[in-house]
Amino acid sequence: MSIEFSKKLTAHETPIPGVVLYDLPVHGDNRGWFKENWQREKMVALGLPDFRPVQNNISFNEKAGTTRGIHAEPWDKFISIATGKIFGAWVDLREGPSFGAVFTAELDPSQAIFIPRGVGNAFQTLEDNTAYTYLVNDHWSADAQGQYTFLNLADETAGISWPVPLEEAELSDKDKAHPRIADVVPMPSKKILVVGADGQLGKALRELYDGDAAVEFAGRAGFDLASEASFAERNWKNYSTIINAAAYTAVDTAETAEGRAAAWAVNVAAVSRLARTAVEHDLTLVQVSSDYVFDGVRESHDEGEPFTPLGVYGQTKAAGDAVVSVVPRHYIVRTSWVIGEGNNFVRTMASLAGRGIEPAVVNDQIGRLSFTEDIAAGIQHLLESGAEYGTYNLSNDGEPQSWADIAADVYELSGRPRSAVTGVSTEEYFKGKAAAPRPLNSVLDLGKVKNSGFKPRPARDVLEAYLGQRTAAE
């Protein structure tokens, strides 16, 4: 067998999404040859997913014409040849528009190929004594074998031109009996799990992903973040992402002894369990943060600003962010002044307007509203666009306003005069009341999320639509 020496490490895209063929540098002389078969740093830099292999397998094949496949397995594989030569065939058996796509190539020791989960894999040896080796990122088990998807080697739709006709090749009886493509059940995508799915953001995510079987929702009854059993009972191999829509948000109650314990339990201890799970199973973790991690001294807060929380709630949110930041695949979505389905500031002001009440509203806290449907859309964008992992500010856009300004907008849109709202300072409003300290400036810099391709809608436009929907529902 002749091997082409001194190739440059190169990646070649194929017709199957995620399947990438690699040329490997092989160095040789009169004694034999050497190659770096798997080199994480170089290959990840070239675009190979950092798929964290945990097992190395070798298939030795004594005779040319030995044929195996087509097997789609519930893990990723990095395939190469140690000795000999193969004709490889790969068929996309995943749910989606590329189902049934085919790619074939001859591989010798100077090549390798990355095969994502759910892509059917098959090969036929072209030389005697061929050793076929592959790295996988999950451990084989009898249970995992039950999740395989198979396709018949002779499927007419795939139309694979095997160098050695199948009737002359060495095949197992099992491989001969696999179904044609019309009878193949595609391998489902890994799921997104939304925890805390009964809250304001959870409801918005339910509406956004309505009908999407790849997204699973769990309220407290379905997944108790305080219970280790909830984590142990779930098969995390079936998931790609966790969106944490759960949070303790009772800002003032968090200052009490009971509230402090509850805030730390939900916003830190539970988040730590999620982070540990994400690290152990290589999941993406989406954590929703808050403007309360800052003291509100700066006019605008960017993602790199150090934490300066004023109260217990802000302290717990900052601690949760710090925990999530060590997860390799994470998005921290920092919001402010959240408005969604349920009791909130806008609904309260609309109710007061409808009853002819003239309220006093704080006028020295400045920020922007964050409507939950826009937070949900931003999370979806980050996940689907492949945006760089990290922290993103995400509120609605437009000129920053005070709470009193927003209340006046609600009154105006409800047919009441803006003058019905009286502005007062934070100090005056909370005088004589037990209240947590609040940042006076909650304006979030939106440059980073905009550069990722997401354009937050102006808060005024969404407010008008929100109040219109509320009026229509009454």
**Which residues does the annotation mark as catalytic?**
71, 134
Between the two ends of the chain, the Cα-to-Cα distance in Å is: 79
Alpha helices in 245-337 (DSSP H): 257-264, 270-281, 312-324
Q: Which two tokens stand for residue 225?
A: 């973040």
State how far the Cα of 453 lies from the Cα of 444, in Å rounded to an integer: 17
State how far the Cα of 429 lies from the Cα of 200, in Å rounded to an integer: 26
Partners of 60 in the β-ladder = 131
Contact 404, 360 (CB under 8 A): no
Q: Which two tokens stand for residue 63?
A: 């005779």
Residue 398, number of CB atoms within 10 A of its CB? 16
Phi, psi of 156, rounded to the nearest 5 degrees? -70, -35
Q: Which two tokens stand for residue 1?
A: 């067998």
Contact 337, 397 (CB under 8 A): no
Contact 88, 79 (CB under 8 A): yes
**Residue that has been written with the tokens 């097997």 in this structure:** 71
Residue 53, number of CB atoms within 10 A of its CB? 17
